[in-house]
Structure 1
Amino acid sequence: MVQTYYEAINWNSIEDAIDKATWEKLTEQFWLDTRIPLSNDLDDWRGLNTAEKTVVNHVFGGLTLLDTLQSQDGIDQLRRDIRTPQELAVFNNIQFMESVHAKSYSSIFSTLCTSEEITEIFTWTNHNEYLQRKAEIVNSIYQTGTPLEKKVASVFLETFLFYSGFYTPLYYLGNNKLANVAEIIKLIIRDESVHGTYIGYKFQLGFNELDAAAQSQFKDWLYNLLYDLYDNEEKYTAALYDQVGWTEDVKTFLRYNANKALMNLGQDPLFPDTADDVNPIVMNGLSTGTANHDFFSQVGNGYLLGHVAAMKTSDYEIGRQK
């Protein structure tokens, strides 16, 4: 018998059922920005004042940068520490969809903005002090951290740091504006929900293998990182939202999602904020379902696949088999 040089992936021999369940969920949720009729939002866009347009543009510029970081560096680093071959396949899917997310914002820009405005957006994005600091903190962990530290950075990015930007389109959706722009954001949120819970689950597998002393030391590092990120995020939020008066509401939303990130990692919540404290208009928009679609063409404001619900945190309970 010839000695094995390279092994084929065998999806009929599954070591971790969560890998298969996540692959199926992500492929069911597949979407592309080109099928969302963004031009239908032009009338709403023209009705926004200058400050509101600036907030929307800069929010989406910041989200573009974070999705670029996640697609180009973050997932690539996570792929190096896999437990199973199926896990690598899941990360391949996640990495591609992060690229789809990053491109989606450019589709929004090209629909709503002039070329001069697009140039301004990316100039602001590439030089904003707090946005660049956020990227630096996360990417330094991706490049030099341990496998567990990288997973923490990824979950904090996807379940916490994105949400200072997600607040804006969800707020407008709740006020019956920019519905198609919000449709893209809801599709992105649906993806990130799965990404965050899956990576958090993989973190918990490794964390639970540590002894008590190592776990305690790691938790100190984890919460210190969250404090650093939240301190920077407060400043970033103020820089974005002071001009429209939303800063305190967005901070509440951030704290709520920071707790969700900690829960994905199997850790205790840090902040007192709950869903009841978040602006109810935004919480209603946070539902991961998408808008009604045309049953004949299966497009319109959403996909037929848009009715696939995001995986629940309980789906990732360690030891639970499907």
Structure 2
Amino acid sequence: MSETYYKAINWNAIEDIIDKSTWEKLTEQFWLDTRIPLSNDLDDWRKLSAEEKELVGYVFGGLTLLDTLQSENGMDELKKDVRTSHEEAVLNNIQFMESVHAKSYSSIFSTLNTKAEIDNIFEWTNTNPYLQKKAERINEIYKNGTPLEKKIASVFLETFLFYSGFYTPLYYLGNNKLANVAEIIKLIIRDESVHGTYIGYKFQLGFNELPEEEQASLKDWMYDLLYELYENEEKYTEQLYDGIGWTEEVKTFLRYNANKALMNLGQDPLFPDGASDVNPIVMNGISTGTSNHDFFSQVGNGYLLGSVEAMQEDDYLIGMD
């Protein structure tokens, strides 16, 4: 018998059951932006002020940048340090969905904005100093960090840094506006909650293998990074939201989700903010079920997928038991 040059992946010999359960969850909740009737939000869109419209464009531009970073660089870097072949398959799925997320924002733009407005959004996104700083900081860790540092950066991006942008559509959804735009965001949040918990779980496996001294050093690095990112995120939030008066509410939401990121990594929360401190309108937006239960039906019975589920606290803890 000749020597093995390349090994086939065997899904009947699972090394880590979390790989299999995460793959199944991600494939069960697969979706595409083209199935959501964004044009139904045009009446709501026309009623927003010019300042509100600009805010929506800018937050989605920022989210596009971060999803682009995850799909083009982040997952490639994480795949260099997988523990199992099944983990690489899960990361391939995550990488594809990050591309779907990035494209979804362009679908929103093409529905709501003119070409000139879209050009302005991307010009703002590609030159905003706070956006560029967080993209650069995360990407430098992807390029130069240790395998565990890369996982920390990824979880902070997915479970924390996205949420300054998610706040806006969730606020409108809680006020019964832009329901289909917000539905895309809820689908993205549902994905990101799985991504963050899965990568956080893989981090914990490696972290628990470290000697205590190395654990302590890495924890110091982790919390220092979070402080650094939060300080930049405060400035980004002020720039976006000062004009509309939501800044402090958004910062509370950020701190709440920073704690979620730390929990995904198996660490203690840093901030005192809990779910009860977040604007209840926004929390209501997260927990509201889909208004389009059958939006997948148009592509036939072979494409029967689950509807958008209400986000629950334990969605952040998938597989962590």
Alpha-carbon offset, residue 306 of structure 1:
2.0
**C-alpha separation in 2, matches of 1:214 and 1:70:** 27
Q: Is the 8 A contact 1:187 1:290 kept in 2?
A: no
**C-alpha separation in 2, matches of 1:304 and 1:2:** 44
Q: Which residue number in structure 2 is paired with residue 283 of structure 1?
A: 283
Q: Is the 8 A contact 1:141 1:150 kept in 2?
A: yes
Q: Which residue number in structure 2 is paired with residue 316 of structure 1?
A: 319
Alpha-carbon offset, residue 92 of structure 1:
0.3
Runs of 4+ in 1 over 4 A off after TM superposition: 307-311
1:146-184 deviation digits (Å, cap 9, x = unpaired)? 000000000000000000000000000011100000000
**C-alpha separation in 2, matches of 1:296 and 1:72:** 28
Ranges in structure 1 where 5+ consecutive residues have no aligned partner: none
- Tell me if 1:9 matches 2:9: yes
Alpha-carbon offset, residue 131 of structure 1:
0.4
Q: Is the 8 A contact 2:36 2:295 kept in 1?
A: no
**C-alpha separation in 1, matches of 2:288 and 2:23:** 18
Tell me how large the CA RMSD over aligned residues is: 1.6
Q: Secondary structure at the match of 1:64?
A: helix
**C-alpha separation in 2, matches of 1:279 and 1:296:** 31
Q: Secondary structure at the match of 2:5?
A: coil
**C-alpha separation in 1, matches of 2:288 and 2:153:** 23
Q: Secondary structure at the match of 1:244?
A: coil
Alpha-carbon offset, residue 307 of structure 1:
4.4
**C-alpha separation in 1, matches of 2:275 and 2:310:** 19
CA 1:314–1:132: 2 relative to 1, 3 Å: closer
**C-alpha separation in 1, matches of 2:46 and 2:224:** 43
Alpha-carbon offset, residue 313 of structure 1:
4.3
**C-alpha separation in 2, matches of 1:4 and 1:309:** 47
Q: Which residue number in structure 2 is paired with residue 227 of structure 1?
A: 227
Ranges in structure 2 where 5+ consecutive residues have no aligned partner: none
Q: Please list, as runs of the form range in 1=range in 2, the aligned pairs for 1:1-322 lying within 5 A after superposition.
A: 1-287=1-287, 289-294=289-294, 297=297, 304-307=305-308, 312-317=315-320
Question: What one-letter code is carried by the residue in structure 2 that aligns with 1:316?
Answer: G
Question: What one-letter code is carried by the residue in structure 1 that aligns with 2:319?
Answer: Y
Sequence identity (%): 77
TM-score, L = length of structure 2: 0.95
TM-score, L = length of structure 1: 0.95
**C-alpha separation in 2, matches of 1:155 and 1:314:** 13
Alpha-carbon offset, residue 289 of structure 1:
4.4
1:97-152 deviation digits (Å, cap 9, x = unpaired)? 00000000000000000000000000000000100001011000000000000000
CA 1:313–1:44: 2 relative to 1, 3 Å: closer
**C-alpha separation in 2, matches of 1:145 and 1:196:** 18
CA 1:56–1:308: 2 relative to 1, 3 Å: closer
CA 1:238–1:130: 2 relative to 1, 3 Å: same
**C-alpha separation in 2, matches of 1:83 and 1:105:** 33
